[in-house]
């Protein structure tokens, strides 16, 4: 983690005279988490998960951020299908063998089905977001999205009523900048996806 929240404060403090640094850190962390949760721009493989025989539940731990959404899970080089406990049925949960499916529970854990018999690893590709309780963000986030995160934090802080830095007009301006940045980031990300158009057969 290369940049702490204090690195962002010089970008905020001129707009919010009198605002405590602690408040700025709090809203910077909240905004960064919101930005990546809404844009899905941070996608990566998390640390390998080691599978043990007869164990079906695994936490989605990562040293860099929190898991917002799971993109794919691979068991012993075989992609698993995402499912739901309600689809499988309680009568099948004791089935043993190579896992074929997984589902998410408690937001940051996965369960695989059937119950594995062998030791191997799970590869999990996920959408990540910064931790709200963390002390900062990766260097690439600062270099690419510092202005956006700052605008989002200013928008929230300036909306707090009865403070010497309260400014509804400024809050509205930075809210607009923040929301436009989210829209633009989604568009730019979508342009990187190669779309395949399948020709429909003639009737």
Q: Are 96 and 114 in contact (CB under 8 A)?
A: yes
Which candidate, 151, 155, 158, places its Cα nearest to that of 181?
Answer: 151
- What pLDDT, on a 0 to 100 scale, did the predictor assign at position 94? 84
Per-residue pLDDT tens for 87-109? Answer: 887 777 888 999 999 999 877 89
Please list, residue by residue across 95-120, b when 16 or more beta carbons sit within 10 angstroms of its beta carbon and e when fewer do: eeeebebbbbeeeeebbbbbbbeeeb
pTM for this entry: 0.83
Q: CA-CA distance, 63 to 46, in Å (whole number)?
A: 8
Q: Degrees (nearest 5) of the Cα angle 45, 50, 56?
A: 105
Q: 193: pLDDT confidence band, cut at 50, 70 and 90?
A: low
Per-residue pLDDT tens for 10-28? Answer: 999 999 999 999 999 999 9
Binning the chain into helix, strand and coil, the percentages to the nearest 5 are: 40, 25, 35
Element (H, E) at 144: helix 139-158
- What pLDDT, on a 0 to 100 scale, did the predictor assign at position 203? 37
């Amino acid at each position: 983690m290369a940049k702490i929240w204090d690195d962002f404060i010089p970008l905020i403090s001129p707009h919010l005279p009198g605002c405590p640094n602690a408040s700025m850190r709090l809203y910077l962390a909240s905004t960064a988490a919101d930005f990546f949760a809404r844009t899905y721009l941070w996608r990566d493989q998390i640390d390998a998960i080691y599978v043990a025989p007869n164990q079906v539940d695994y936490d989605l731990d990562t040293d860099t951020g929190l898991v917002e959404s799971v993109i794919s899970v691979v068991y012993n080089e075989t992609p698993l299908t995402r499912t739901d406990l309600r689809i499988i049925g309680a009568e099948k949960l004791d089935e043993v063998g190579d896992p074929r499916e997984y589902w998410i529970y408690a937001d940051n854990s996965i369960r695989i089905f059937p119950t594995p018999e062998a030791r191997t690893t799970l590869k999990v590709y996920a959408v990540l977001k910064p931790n709200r309780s963390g002390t900062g963000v990766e260097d690439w986030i600062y270099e690419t999205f510092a202005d956006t995160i700052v605008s989002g934090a200013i928008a929230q802080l300036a909306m707090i009523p009865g403070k010497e830095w309260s400014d509804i007009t400024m809050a509205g301006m930075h809210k607009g900048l923040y929301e436009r940045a989210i829209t633009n980031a989604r568009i730019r990300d979508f342009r990187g996806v190669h779309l395949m158009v399948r020709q429909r057969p003639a009737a």
